[in-house]
Structure 1
């Protein structure tokens, strides 16, 4: 009965439909159709892919959870593959904050792989989105996983490897992300631990280091301040400027003045005060960016 109910909830999108994720369509070998359960609008939001090994330790699990939690607080969709280990922790961190998360599976959506994550799959179906390029009834195959990984990286401008051994599939996802022209970050780990051999290798090969949540948020292009924190800490004028920067990214003083309907010199003074508080910073003389 449960299996039949899940099948009824599965929907299908094709690459020619507006609902299809625009960023995914930019990759060379994007899937022509996707099956999904949940809210596809979450894939229109800013996404960050978090991946790592199934075999992990407490350092990796807690880092993935805190990363998912921080992104979830800020409305960024956490994309992963629902595997045990790092994937599971990143999904759970986002769900803990009632944030957005997307799981890309290597099987039909009426099935669950790994079976032990059936409860997690149900939570993501209800609060996020589960998707696959494989039609219902398709069992997971070993070679489906690396194929699936191009979708995980393709949905996001940034792929983060939290912890990966030397033979981890997360390294395939990182390589695919780089081939797709996307950013790749990795969390440094103990050089004596087998859990970190792959992620440390990525750093040696040019991935940028993520040494904490602040680095992650900066790489994601969002502010360290959550919306409730900003509401509590900022004046009404500061909040207007701050949220404008959060939605548009870096802007010139003229642009800020136009949107805020204030004189340029008044906006400049406001931005200087916020820079002194460490909330924004200036670059190239006239552009202010929400500080991350």
Structure 2
């Protein structure tokens, strides 16, 4: 029976390369993108908005509940949660997204026919069926010490934003955060108790200038998402305002000149639209750009 299941899993493994349409466009922007990616699942989920969530394997209830809650919220908003399927923070982020029937992607440090860690065999199956498993290693490749930091560049490379939740001083999540910064991506961190060893690395990232996430609202803003429910936005906005709102949802933030270009309207006309939307509490302006407003 086990041999049959293994054979079926091997048959499901497919490959993608940078020249293929299913290969993630954002990943091709990093310096050392993989020439071949093995996958099981649905590659289309990598074409939409993605957020990477990483953290320590050893964590606390605070870290687990935060990762699970962030995964749920992103799952509700149709954002693909990217992580490494490790125990601890990774697992909770994946599970939170799956709980909401959301999209999630796991990047493994071994061949896709191998479950590492073995405890996550049920989670692995869920992701195979409802998301996507990825690896640059061919089937049969066992996880090695070097393969974890190597795969971390893919986790960060798939997303414009990497979120770190509870990372100790030697956590692999710090490597992922460093790689994200080197790739020109945003790094956001959930602060933690300064007396806890689980938060030493996380708090260090904050000291070095990472974005600080104090709650779900901060996460949505960092990901370029509106906290305003879509139905409520449609109720408040006219057709032209809705077009502007949709652009901001896609890009996170835009200047009036950029909005004018996308909407093909004069800058003063776009500015008037933005003023009306700001009065409605849907957007706000700062530093010469227009942002989605808070609740």
**Same fold by TM-score greater than 0.5:** yes
TM-score (normalised: structure 1): 0.90
Give the equivalent residue in structure 2 for 1:205. Answer: 208
Q: How much has 1:253 moved relative to structure 2?
A: 8.1
Question: Is the Cα–Cα contact under 8 Å of residues 240 and 260 in structure 1 kept in the other structure?
Answer: no
The one of 11, 35, 45 aligned to 1:42 = 45
Q: How much has 1:16 moved relative to structure 2?
A: 2.3
Query: Structure 2: 5+ residue runs without aligned partners?
Result: none
Instruction: Classify 1:244/1:206 alpha carbon distance in 2 versus 1 (closer, same or farther; 3 Å).
Output: closer
Question: Is the Cα–Cα contact under 8 Å of residues 189 and 205 in structure 2 kept in the other structure?
Answer: yes
Aligned length: 289
Question: Is the Cα–Cα contact under 8 Å of residues 105 and 148 in structure 1 kept in the other structure?
Answer: yes
Instruction: Classify 1:269/1:31 alpha carbon distance in 2 versus 1 (closer, same or farther; 3 Å).
Output: closer
* Per-residue Cα deviation, 1:194-240 (whole angstroms, up to 9, x for no partner): 11111011111221211111111111111112434535x53554545
CA distance in 2, matches of 1:67, 1:274: 28
CA distance in 2, matches of 1:245, 1:81: 29
Instruction: Classify 1:181/1:137 alpha carbon distance in 2 versus 1 (closer, same or farther; 3 Å).
Output: same
Instruction: Classify 1:253/1:24 alpha carbon distance in 2 versus 1 (closer, same or farther; 3 Å).
Output: closer
Give the equivalent residue in structure 2 for 1:136. Answer: 139
Instruction: Show the 5 A alignment for 1:18-37.
Output: 18-37=21-40
Match of 2:174, SS? Answer: helix
CA distance in 2, matches of 1:98, 1:273: 36
TM-score (normalised: structure 2): 0.89
Query: Structure 1: 5+ residue runs without aligned partners?
Result: none
CA distance in 2, matches of 1:229, 1:62: 28
Give the equivalent residue in structure 1 for 2:155. Answer: 152
Question: Is the Cα–Cα contact under 8 Å of residues 256 and 271 in structure 2 kept in the other structure?
Answer: no
Q: How much has 1:5 moved relative to structure 2?
A: 0.9
Match of 1:56, SS? Answer: coil
Q: How much has 1:257 moved relative to structure 2?
A: 10
Match of 1:51, SS? Answer: strand
The one of 270, 274, 279 aligned to 1:276 = 279
Question: Is the Cα–Cα contact under 8 Å of residues 250 and 290 in structure 1 kept in the other structure?
Answer: no
Instruction: Show the 5 A alignment for 1:1-292.
Output: 1-231=4-234, 234-237=236-239, 239-248=242-251, 249-250=253-254, 252=256, 255=259, 259=263, 271-283=274-286, 288-291=290-293
CA distance in 2, matches of 1:254, 1:81: 35
Q: How much has 1:52 moved relative to structure 2?
A: 0.1
